[in-house]
């Protein structure tokens, strides 16, 4: 019962692999397991930093082959044009097929109603589930991370969804060792989260290490903004200041990239990836707390969306 | 500015350390986890504000009181009922290490949750209430930890403030822990007196326990050897094949088709040991005699490696024409495990319906999944007496010994030798649910 080591000693000699190498190896293992065990996988890809890293890991997992499944984007109709252009360029570069589910089409057909608060993020669930069912995707990769939100912290790496796409957080399969059980019945599908164990800082350090390209709005740039709900909102087609809002040009960047109608910018001078790594490490706010109106609705906003079948 | 920031813990390049927490009902585990996160500065301002708001609404600890347990409750039902339902994962970093914490609740399905958290953990922190000492559930937790062969056990003797920081109270519990640990064969169980509520000996040393000269909880977690340090230097190479990479016709854009015309490699993760180009390896396919070849190349997404070690994900190219498929195991030719269709194992039963002799199940071992039949239930572990007794069946949360017969022989080696290759799942062939965590107790006969 004696200590086999001294706690006063310096940290253990560096293991062969650092944190990023270990996380990368785990993610590639998960991506390969899903592709091996499912017939029709697809990967969610929005052009946001997490999905960009996830797709980069997929490209590594199957090298020298191309990523062997389509990518899927639910377009709210309020996306940043820079991000959509980046999305299309990336898909082209990797030779992938892009499947798009459109919130706008649902609104035009009268199947979804615009919300009073103007955000379209919660409206993505119906087009997402219909696209999954329509293409008979049986596994859908998502870039969710457990450090993002309290409900996500309880999510499995492979998470079963019932025929209505719903998540039942109280009845999840135990996930043991690195043995992932992806068995499911017809009509059910599985959401797979290969970057579950990455933090925001890991993502940025990896982007820096691998020199991964991101949409330009992640880096500091001058933009016309106004203040609303304690966040800096961009002036744009889908995000118009009211008569009482004071518009000014500020140097900002985006920490998360979602719908223009609910994503706020942060004041920042971080123009390079190295600057952003330093800024994220020093930040005193969480990324969702700083930038997402949709998560401020209630303590359980993310849990409620996830139960309904959200990402 | 930049230099100062680089000194910040989060930017130092440490290593990954996974640990789990386990505790009985109401021993303050959520508070301890909250304290660890709070005092290691892993909690950001907006999270803290949210906790302060809710604490004030509930009148916790007077003005400015923080109910740190709120930091770890993720689901609506958990906040409403004040209990933790499911394993939650937390992330924090210090100057020495990046930690992944699997916070395992002690209420509902505690064996299932503890087994889940312990399966990937380098260490488990077990909570004991200083007023109550070692309880039946503590013994159960320690048994599960011993069974899952978690390398390190830390017993946090919590609420030491409520026994007046008394050395005798701590010494008594430490002695009990030592006795139970010895019975279970746990060689590395360390007890620490803490108060999660006030923070004594969690991150900072407490002046109220001058009789205690050991490390704080965080100091200990920062200095325990990781799994990689301990096993891997001596472990024999193991590589379950996940996929065959043959990109003909579907080459990544920009690569030269001529250069990859005959490319064929086996994708997988090194789960134990190290492999080098030129090494002799055995390919073990279920139901086939082993074949030996050499490693012609190791690829990591366009980079050729000379060697690869656990836990790297790579692609291996083998010399000669070989038929290798998912479910096969590539292992060091010297010391490859023998195949057997008879699988003796310990299992933690995680399903509502009981396991009986004659049950038909699927065994998922590495990347192979085969059908199997339960030949016999050979005993159930009495977690109170810490001994195996006879049993007809295994119920929810039972741990027992079983004999399984596989539809095809698999390369088997004991969990005691290799955690990664000695583990398997039992899966319900009808509805796909995960039924049990399995650990091989002895290897295949040659």
- A65-90 confidence digits (pLDDT tens): 999 999 999 998 888 899 999 999 99
Selected from 3.40.50.1170, 3.90.420.10, 3.40.50.620, 3.40.50.300, the CATH number assigned to the domain covering A19-201+302-308 reads: 3.40.50.620
Chain B contact set for A290 (CB, 8 A): 46
**In this predicted structure, what is the pLDDT of residue B46?**
76
Give domain limits for chain A.
19-201+302-308, 216-296
8 Å CB contact of A36 and B243: yes
The proportion of chain B whose per-residue pLDDT surpasses 70, expressed as a percent, equals 88
With an 8 Å Cβ cutoff, are A185 and B431 in contact?
A: yes
Q: Which residues numbered 310-339 in B keep a CB inside 8 Å of some CB on A?
A: 311-313, 315, 326
Under the banding of pLDDT at 50, 70 and 90, the label for residue B1 is: very low
Return the residue of B nearest to A183 by Cα.
B432
Helix axes A49-62, A81-94, angle to 10 degrees: 0
Least confident of A14-28, A222-236, B267-281: A14-28
Give B 4-63 residues with CB within 8 A of chain A. Answer: 5-6, 8, 10-11, 13-16, 44-47, 50, 54
Task: Grade residue B2 by pLDDT with cuts at 50, 70 and 90.
Answer: very low
What is the pLDDT of chain B when averaged over all its residues? 87
Q: State yes or no: pLDDT of A57 exceeds 80.
A: yes
Q: Which of B317, B335, B339 is nearest to B327 (CA)?
A: B339
Contact A48, A121 (CB under 8 A): no
* pLDDT score at B81: 63
A-B contacts at Cβ under 8 angstroms = 238
Give the pLDDT band (50/70/90) at residue A28. Answer: very high
Å between B110 CA and nearest CA of chain A: 12
Q: What is chain A written as a DSSP string?
A: ---SS-TTSPSPPPPSS-HHHHHHHHHHHHHHHHHHH-SSEEEE--SSHHHHHHHHHHHHHHTTBPPSS-EEEEE-S---HHHHHHHHHHHHHHT--EEEEEHHHHHHTTSS---TT---GGGGHHHHHHHHHHTT-SEEE----TTS-TTGGG--SEEEE-TT----TTSPPP-BTTB------TT-EEEE-TTTT--HHHHHHHHHHHT----GGGS-EEEEEEEETTEEEE-BTTBPPPTTPPPEEEEEE-SS---TTTBPBEE----SHHHHHHHHHH-SS-HHHHHBSGGGS-TTHHHHHHHHT--
Of B298 and A124, the structure prediction assigns the larger pLDDT to B298
Note the pLDDT tens digit of each residue in A145-204: 998 887 888 889 999 988 888 888 777 888 999 999 999 988 889 999 999 999 999 999
Residue B329 pLDDT: 97
More confident residue, B397 or B84: B397
Q: With 70 as the cut, is the pLDDT of residue B445 above it?
A: no
Q: What is the pLDDT of residue B61?
A: 59
Give per-residue pLDDT as tens, B215-250. Answer: 999 999 999 987 655 555 568 999 999 999 998 779
Residue B444 — very low, low, confident or very high, per pLDDT cuts 50/70/90?
low
A56 neighbourhood in chain B, CB within 8 Å = none
B225 contacts on A by Cβ (under 8 Å): 4-5, 12
The overall average pLDDT reported for chain A is: 87
**Residue from the list A5, A66, A178 with its beta carbon closest to the beta carbon of B252:** A66
Q: What is the mean pLDDT of residues B30-54?
A: 79
Q: Is the dihedral of CA B249, B252, B258, B259 positive or negative?
A: negative
Identify all chain A residues contacting B85, using CB atoms and an 8 Å cutoff.
169-170
Percent of chain B with pLDDT over 90: 61
Chain B closest-CA separation from residue A187 CA (Å): 13
**Domains along the sequence of chain B with CATH:** 11-231 (3.40.50.300), 238-332 (2.40.30.10), 339-440 (2.40.30.10)
Confidence label for A2 from pLDDT (cuts 50, 70 and 90): very low
Nearest chain B alpha carbon to A205: B11
Contact B269 A36 (CB under 8 A): no
Contact A25 B313 (CB under 8 A): yes
- pLDDT tens readout for residues B403-428: 999 999 999 999 998 888 999 999 99
Q: Which residues of B touch A172 (CB under 8 A)?
A: 86
Per-residue confidence (pLDDT) for residue B84, from 0 to 100: 62
Contacts of A120 (CB under 8 A, 6+ apart): A76, A77, A78, A103, A114, A259, A261, A262
pLDDT digits (tens, 9 = 90+) for B191-209: 999 999 899 999 999 999 9
Q: Does B297 touch chain A (CB under 8 A)?
A: no
What CA–CA distances, in Å, run from A34 to A159, B125, B363, B389, B427? 12, 32, 18, 40, 17
pLDDT digits (tens, 9 = 90+) for B269-283: 999 999 999 999 999
Residues of B in contact with A157 (CB under 8 A): none
The set of residues, in sequence order, having a beta carbon less than 8 Å from that of A297 and lying 6+ positions away, is: none
Q: Do B243 and A35 touch (CB under 8 A)?
A: yes
Is A183–B427 a contact, with Cβ atoms under 8 angstroms apart? Answer: yes
Q: In this predicted structure, which of B22-36, B109-123, B302-316 has the lowest mean pLDDT?
A: B22-36
């Amino acid at each position: 019962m004696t200590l086999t080591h001294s706690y006063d000693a310096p940290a253990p000699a560096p293991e062969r692999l650092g944190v990023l190498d270990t996380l990368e190896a785990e993610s590639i293992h998960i991506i390969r397991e899903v592709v091996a065990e499912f017939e029709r996988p697809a990967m969610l890809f929005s052009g946001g930093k997490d999905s960009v890293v996830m797709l980069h890991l997929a490209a590594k997992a199957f090298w020298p082959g191309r990523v062997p499944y389509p990518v899927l984007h639910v377009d709210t109709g309020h996306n940043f044009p820079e991000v959509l252009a980046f999305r299309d360029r990336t898909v082209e570069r990797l030779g992938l097929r892009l499947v798009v589910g459109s919130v706008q089409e649902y609104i035009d057909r009268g199947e979804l109603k615009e919300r009073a608060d103007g955000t379209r993020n919660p409206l993505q669930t119906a087009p997402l589930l219909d696209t999954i069912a329509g293409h008979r995707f049986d596994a859908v990769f998502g870039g969710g991370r457990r450090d993002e939100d309290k409900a996500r912290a309880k999510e499995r790496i492979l998470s079963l969804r019932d025929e209505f796409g719903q998540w039942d957080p109280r009845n999840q399969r135990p996930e043991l060792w690195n043995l992932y059980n992806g068995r499911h019945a017809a009509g059910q599908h599985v959401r797979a989260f290969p970057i579950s164990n990455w933090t925001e800082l890991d993502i940025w350090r990896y982007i820096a290490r691998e020199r991964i390209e991101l949409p330009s709005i992640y880096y500091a740039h001058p933009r016309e903004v106004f203040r609303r709900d304690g966040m800096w909102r961009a002036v744009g087609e889908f995000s118009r200041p009211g008569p009482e809002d004071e518009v000014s040009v500020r140097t900002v960047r985006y920490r998360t990239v979602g719908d223009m109608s609910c994503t706020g910018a942060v004041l920042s001078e971080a123009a390079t990836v190295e600057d952003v790594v330093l800024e994220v490490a020093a930040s005193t706010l969480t990324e969702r707390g700083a930038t997402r109106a949709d998560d401020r609705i209630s303590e359980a906003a993310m849990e409620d969306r996830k139960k309904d079948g959200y990402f | 500015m930049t230099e100062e920031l680089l000194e910040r813990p989060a930017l130092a390049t440490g290593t990954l350390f996974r640990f789990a927490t386990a505790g009985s009902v109401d021993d303050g585990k959520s508070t301890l986890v909250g304290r660890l996160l709070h005092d290691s500065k892993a909690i950001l301002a907006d999270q803290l504000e949210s906790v302060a708001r809710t604490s004030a609404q509930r009148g916790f600890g007077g003005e400015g009181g923080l109910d740190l347990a709120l930091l770890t409750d993720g689901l609506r039902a958990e906040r409403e009922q004040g209990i933790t339902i499911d394993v939650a994962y937390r992330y924090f970093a210090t100057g020495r290490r990046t930690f992944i914490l699997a916070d395992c609740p002690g209420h509902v399905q505690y064996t299932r949750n503890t087994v889940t958290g312990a399966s990937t953990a380098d260490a488990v922190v077990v909570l004991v209430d200083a007023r109550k000492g070692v309880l039946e559930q503590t013994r159960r937790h320690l048994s599960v930890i011993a069974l899952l062969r978690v390398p390190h056990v830390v017993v946090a003797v919590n609420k030491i403030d409520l026994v007046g920081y008394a050395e005798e109270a701590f010494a008594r519990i430490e002695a009990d822990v030592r006795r139970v640990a010895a019975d279970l064969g746990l060689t590395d169980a360390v007890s620490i007196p803490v108060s999660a509520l006030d923070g004594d000996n969690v991150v900072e040393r407490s002046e109220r326990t001058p009789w205690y000269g050991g490390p704080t909880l965080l100091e200990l977690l920062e200095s325990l050897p990781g799994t990689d340090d301990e096993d891997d230097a001596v472990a024999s190479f193991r590589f379950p094949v996940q996929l065959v990479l043959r990109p003909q016709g579907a080459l990544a854009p920009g690569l030269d088709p001529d250069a990859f015309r005959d490319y064929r490699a086996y994708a997988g993760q090194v789960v134990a040991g190290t492999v080098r180009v030129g090494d002799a390896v055995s390919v073990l396919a279920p139901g086939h005699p082993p074949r030996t070849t050499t490693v012609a190349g190791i690829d990591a997404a366009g980079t050729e490696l000379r060697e690869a070690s656990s836990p790297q994900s790579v692609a291996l190219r083998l010399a000669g024409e070989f038929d290798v498929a998912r479910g096969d195991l590539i292992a060091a030719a010297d010391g490859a495990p023998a195949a057997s269709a008879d699988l003796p194992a310990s299992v933690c039963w995680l399903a509502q319906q009981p396991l009986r002799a004659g049950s038909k199940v699927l065994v998922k071992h590495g990347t192979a999944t085969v059908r199997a039949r339960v030949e016999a239930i050979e005993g159930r572990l009495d977690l109170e007496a810490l001994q195996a007794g006879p049993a007809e069946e295994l119920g929810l949360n039972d741990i027992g010994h079983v004999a399984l017969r596989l539809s095809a022989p698999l390369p088997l080696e004991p969990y005691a030798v290799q955690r990664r290759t000695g583990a398997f799942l039992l899966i319900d062939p009808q509805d796909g649910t995960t039924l049990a965590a399995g650990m091989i107790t002895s290897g295949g006969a040659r």
